[in-house]
Structure 1
Amino acid sequence: MPRLCQPARWPLVCRLICIVTVAIVVGCWLPPGFAADVFVAADGNDTADSSAQKPVATLRRALDRVREIRIAAGDRQSPIVVEVADGRHELADTLVLGPADSGTPAAPTVIRAAAAARPVISGGRRITGWELSKSGHWLAHLPTVADGQWQFSQLFVNGQRRFRPVLPAVGWYTIAAAVPPSPAAEGKGHDGFGFSAGDIRSDWSNIGDVEVVAVHGWAMSRMRIAEIGPGEGAGGEAQAAGGTVRFTGRTMAPTSWGEFPAGNRYCIENVGESVGTPGSWYLDRGKGILTYCPLPGETLAAAEVIAPRLDQLVRLEGDSASGRLVEHVLFEGLTFAHGNWTLPPAGQSFPQADINVGGAISATGVRHVAFVDCRVRHVGRYAIEFGGGCSECTVERCDLADLGGGGVLIGTSGGAGSWGEEAAVPRTVERITIRDTTIRHGGRIHSAGVGVWIGHATHCTVEHCDIYDFTYTGVSVGWIWGYRESRTHHIRIASNRIHHLGHGVLSDMGGVYTLGVSPGTVVEGNVIHDIASHNYGGWGLYTDEGSTGIVMRGNLVYRTSSGGFHQHYGRDNLIENNVFAAARDWQLQRSRVEDHTSFRFERNIVWWDSDTPLVNGDWKTGLKLRSNCYFNAAGPVRFPGDSDLAGWQQTGQDLGSIVSDPRFTNPAAGDFTLPPDSPVFALGWQPIDPTQAGPRQPPPIDDLAPVPSIWPERRQTP
């Protein structure tokens, strides 16, 4: 794909072309020179005429003015531009755009920041009227909380996330005993477990607001307490003078990944009696009192404390079934911040990737919608969601940071064989592009949130992005388990930096993860490194159940906990011309053997410097290996069956392969460049240029404060 356009340098002919096609090729954003039609300022007045001299106060009124201008102008041939002044623009309600807010190819609706401005579209409210308690804590009385109109589970102080109190203060509790599900949950899921003495207390105040966060391997459940009773361990498990906790809801499945087995980790959040650590806070909903324990140096006079009020900041609602879409809309230069998420009465439990929490910005039934040079931060969900009926949409040069969930959701979770309704028919989602965007610091509430999730979607692209600091997967593609028909195909994951994932919190993850049949899908040119799972499954490239017809080529993968590549099971995948280096447990893994060709593994370099094995699993049948280079700087390379290369080749595998030092420049420092006379070039190796991965023009990342994490493996003092 071409580099981003440079508007200030465009010749006239290019500008004219982009004027006509701005809503079609939305990656080329609106060139300068178009005067704004509608002006918005935080100190404006919605009864004003929306001129530069008399701006309106709200985006809702600004969009109403756009509708009026469009009706009056008839067949307008230039964009209708809303210009937003600097400052914090507090939304009274979610900003909803419907078909009537659409532009046209020649006259798109443009909502952009004023020159040199960085306006913040906020779903939060600044907390004022603080009092200082005798203990040094700050107290604020919030009547709208006390009367049930407002609740929140996030707080941001001076632009940084703060957390509610967490028990234990260090590490995790462990489940003492599994217990049978209650009659209401039997056969559907699990709704309780046994705990050790002192870990959960029935005398905690506001116990219905206490949240139990339990790990299931590759996901977490966040549950509300319904009751606490005596111990009732299942299966003969002993329980040391503790008790049983029952939840108001259940997990989504009665199978192993929905259980609460003995030994699994959990922590407890939002116990009022435990507030006191600097940087922690507690909301007593019944009394409407917010308590904040300030960090050293924070003062009542100078602190900006914001609590989110709106779950969604922007919602674009079209109807693809009737053809009434929201289309030809461009958002440019805006910051969207302070999105709420609160735990539902029945808790939150989802088997993988926490995709059911949705996005702070949500789109359904839209076409030719773009977010360019925007920021999303301090939200409790995913940042942006493109749901059913979305097509030809772009996120470009954006920065998505400090996210309760993941970065971008593309597609739907419905359809047979997925976790949606069996009878659901997903509306087409296609041609969504995420480009030159930084997606970072996610999973702050929903630990299984991923950088980019793509499900039941076609012809989508994630390219030149920088995705890092999540506790689960970087990019996830697919979402049909096994070989059933899939709507996902022709997905391109290319030239991204995907790194520092997992952090030892969850298991069973990948830098890039695929699932199901996906012909035409290509994963190429990515640099993936530092993937660390809790106890198993920290892979770089991971083709999970049923992955079929996928090409993974030209990727650099290093420093993973469980191998650079793993295939659970699948068919006819091609893994070629990749570097897999310096994995911890083993370098390559295969889990299930089937009676077809699972994958071809050709012209790859596998390098490591430890006494760990080359492979894990059965690598003898149902796969084809050839022309690879293997080298262990710490000792000999042993192939399946504990054979050397010659013995291994007698089985018909790895013909044309070599055991030889590829002569990387400095692998310890992550420099895997090769000299011209490296032996790998005789194998047909094609050079990989890792400098091409990541944003070509990085988005303007500002001085976002360090983003702390609640999970014990990553817990930081703000």
Structure 2
Amino acid sequence: MPENSTVENSTVENQAAENQFHVAPWGRDSWPGTLDQPFATLPAAQRAVRAGTAAMRADLVVNLHAGRHVLTEPVELRADAGDSGQHGHRVVYQAYGHGTPDRAAAVLSGGRAITGWQPGDVDGVWLAEVGDLTTRQLYVNGHRAPRAALHPGIPGRVTKTATGYVTDSTVPQGWRNPTGIEFVFQGVYPWSEARCGVAAISGDEHSSTITMVQPGFERALGLYAAEWHGEIPNGGEIPNGIEIPAGGGTVAFDGLAAPSSAENSTSFLTEPGTFVLDRSNPGRHVLHYLPLPGEDPTESEIIAPVLEKLVVGKGTAEHPLHDVVLRGLTFAHAGWDRPSGPGGFLHYHGNAYYGGGPLQRVEIAEGMGHVSVPGAAVLVPSNVEFSSAERIALLDNTFVHLGAGALAFSGGGADNAVIGNVVEDVSGGGIAVNTGNGVRIERNLIHHIGREYRGSPAVWVSDSRETTVARNEIHDVPYSGVVIAGGDNAARVQVVENLIHHTMTVLADGGGIYLSGPQGASFASGTVVRGNVIRDTITSYNFGLYTDYGASWVTVQGNIVHRGDTPIVLRVTPPLENVVFLGNFWDDWPQDVEHPPAGVTLAGNTVLPKDDFDRALAADPAGADILAGAGRGDARRTR
């Protein structure tokens, strides 16, 4: 899709009125969908679109007027139902007035307003009955209210058992609604965070026994089984602070030894602005909310997600969905309830988690240890998803207050564009490409994602060809900024001129940009990482620009890495093959730089002083050019 594509540059201002439909919260579906008599709902507008696509002579445009457009079911865009553009034209869903200063604030919401709040028996806590609602998120006056939590997760001296935990503290026996509690295991592997539910709590005057929900806990015991061993002459440390004594030894890394926190009991409801959902009475669930100072729940907008999908675009390999544009819209208030189920949420890596089935043992390095990995990992879903789709464009939208990932493409497809969007306050990842050709991810702002599933990257690209990740700004994410997972079909991926900062704010063993596995079959078809600025990779044990796990056919050229634990890594298992680091700027030499492994080439890289990095960079013409070119620039130019 060339830079001057009609996806970005065409306008609809001069199209005839018969090609325009309007939707407004105050409209009626019995009206004709004109500016003066708009439809009330998107399904009504979609029916009008489907009736007109076969005879299209121009773009068909659906204008959403200001307000909250509440969806009672996901918007399904289907190739077999007439939702694709035809005859070289497109179907466009846009905020009314898009491209003008008067653009409407149109929100597609999968949520439900929570009303009927009453003061509870506990001072300051308010209650609302919500029927069978099973939300994991709550949004109060436009802000995410966290679930009430306890740190650490279990008080006292804790011992892990085959079915849960025993502690010498009797405090857990007094926790209210124990079957609603969820334990969080931050850093269960250094790059992962897991969630498992509590089934029961019992005990006596000396100790408490906590029994965990199955099969989630049993699966966790199998997945998070790791061991490091070997000889470290002067003593040392491996990820997550596990020490190996001088002379070597064997250490079983146990990320399940005790939870880092516990969530969702009214006993934990002590922090203003937090909530709990009590599901102990089936069909009569109760939300408990402790307001912020000065906040009155009866006068506040409080929204809980109901839907798990907002938009689903579907085609097939033979008949893909195609030529659809979504622009200027806000997608909000969708959830994902599976982690609350008996399987919990057993994160493995990036967008992948373990849902059961065979496990495989993988050696970390020869003679140094092993981890377990899923035989078939499952991908975290997104609240807006497209599969087998071509020439789909998402432009200038906002994805906010979401309980899964924001946006994903899967099932093949080609020539899709994600340009100029904002992704923020999302429980999972930002933008994901799970196979597909020619996807452009450009000039987006992605920040404060991974709010619940902290191993989620801002951008995830797996097994994709000719995907471009360019000129985005990514910041304040708990794990890696961009993950390129490679794969058998991966080829010609470009990660260029992105500004990535404040990544790895929670977990370890990741980077601002992370690549793993085969990235092509030659340098011509491999991945290019060029012109990116990576700063402030926060936690210990990270690499600002991380080529890992047998990455091959990668060109890393003209990037800036500053304030990371280590700028790059050269020795990994399996080893790097055909990886070139050329003309980069960083603030420290990587380990083994004088004797790099056989599969790595380093040339023309420059180390600048940590404490005077910016001045030294600005004084170097090449470094100054890289710095000036990274980031979104004027990201919201005419689309």
TM-score of the pair, normalised by structure 1? 0.73
Contact 2:45–2:62 (8 Å) recurs in 1: yes
> What is the SS of the residue equivalent to 1:510?
coil
1:340 aligns with 335
Contact 2:183–2:259 (8 Å) recurs in 1: no
Matched, 1:127 2:114: yes
2:367 aligns with none
> What does 1:126-525 align with in structure 2 at a 5 Å threshold?
126-133=113-120, 135-142=123-130, 144-145=131-132, 150-168=133-151, 176-180=158-162, 193-194=164-165, 196-198=167-169, 201-215=172-186, 216=188, 217-228=190-201, 243=209, 245-248=211-214, 249=216, 250-251=219-220, 253=223, 255-256=225-226, 260-261=254-255, 266-285=260-279, 286=281, 287-320=284-317, 323-342=318-337, 343=339, 344-355=341-352, 356-411=379-434, 429-480=436-487, 486-503=488-505, 505-519=506-520, 520-525=526-531
- Residue identity matched to 1:544: D
- Identity, % of aligned positions: 29
1:114 aligns with 96
The CA distance in 2 between the partners of 1:364 and 1:400, in whole Å, is 20
Contact 1:494–1:523 (8 Å) recurs in 2: yes
- Residue identity matched to 2:383: A
- Residue identity matched to 1:488: A
1:62 is displaced (CA, Å) by 0.8
- Cα–Cα, structure 1 residues 348 and 289, in superposed 2: closer, same or farther, change >3 Å? same
- Cα–Cα, structure 1 residues 262 and 511, in superposed 2: closer, same or farther, change >3 Å? same
Contact 2:457–2:480 (8 Å) recurs in 1: yes
- Cα–Cα, structure 1 residues 177 and 580, in superposed 2: closer, same or farther, change >3 Å? farther
The CA distance in 1 between the partners of 2:567 and 2:474, in whole Å, is 20
Contact 1:175–1:262 (8 Å) recurs in 2: no
The CA distance in 1 between the partners of 2:393 and 2:609, in whole Å, is 43
The CA distance in 2 between the partners of 1:298 and 1:335, in whole Å, is 26
- Residue identity matched to 1:672: L
1:675 is displaced (CA, Å) by 4.8
- Cα–Cα, structure 1 residues 604 and 198, in superposed 2: closer, same or farther, change >3 Å? same
RMSD between superposed Cα atoms in Å = 2.8
- Cα–Cα, structure 1 residues 561 and 226, in superposed 2: closer, same or farther, change >3 Å? same
- Residue identity matched to 2:536: D
1:696 is displaced (CA, Å) by 2.1
> What does 1:34-53 align with in structure 2 at a 5 Å threshold?
34=15, 35=17, 37-53=20-36
1:195 is displaced (CA, Å) by 5.1
The CA distance in 1 between the partners of 2:27 and 2:324, in whole Å, is 23
The CA distance in 2 between the partners of 1:294 and 1:214, in whole Å, is 27
Worse-superposed segment, 37-46 or 286-295: 286-295
The CA distance in 1 between the partners of 2:414 and 2:173, in whole Å, is 51
The CA distance in 1 between the partners of 2:571 and 2:158, in whole Å, is 34
1:67 aligns with 50
Runs of at least 5 residues in structure 2 that lack an aligned partner in the other structure: 98-102, 228-251, 353-378, 521-525
1:540-598 CA-to-partner distances (Å, cap 9, x unmatched) read 1111011001001111110012334455221011101111116xxxx41469x99x722
2:537 aligns with 531
The CA distance in 2 between the partners of 1:298 and 1:172, in whole Å, is 31
- Cα–Cα, structure 1 residues 247 and 550, in superposed 2: closer, same or farther, change >3 Å? same
1:624 aligns with none
1:577 aligns with 583
The CA distance in 1 between the partners of 2:321 and 2:156, in whole Å, is 49
The CA distance in 1 between the partners of 2:429 and 2:394, in whole Å, is 17
1:30 aligns with 11
- Residue identity matched to 2:462: G
The CA distance in 2 between the partners of 1:354 and 1:291, in whole Å, is 31
Contact 1:175–1:263 (8 Å) recurs in 2: no
TM-score of the pair, normalised by structure 2? 0.81
1:204 is displaced (CA, Å) by 3.2
2:605 aligns with 604
- Residue identity matched to 2:626: D
Contact 1:577–1:686 (8 Å) recurs in 2: no
Contact 1:39–1:84 (8 Å) recurs in 2: yes
- Residue identity matched to 1:489: A
- Residue identity matched to 1:292: Y
Contact 2:147–2:274 (8 Å) recurs in 1: yes
1:59 is displaced (CA, Å) by 1.1
Contact 1:391–1:430 (8 Å) recurs in 2: yes
- Residue identity matched to 1:697: D
1:137 is displaced (CA, Å) by 2.5
The CA distance in 1 between the partners of 2:456 and 2:35, in whole Å, is 41
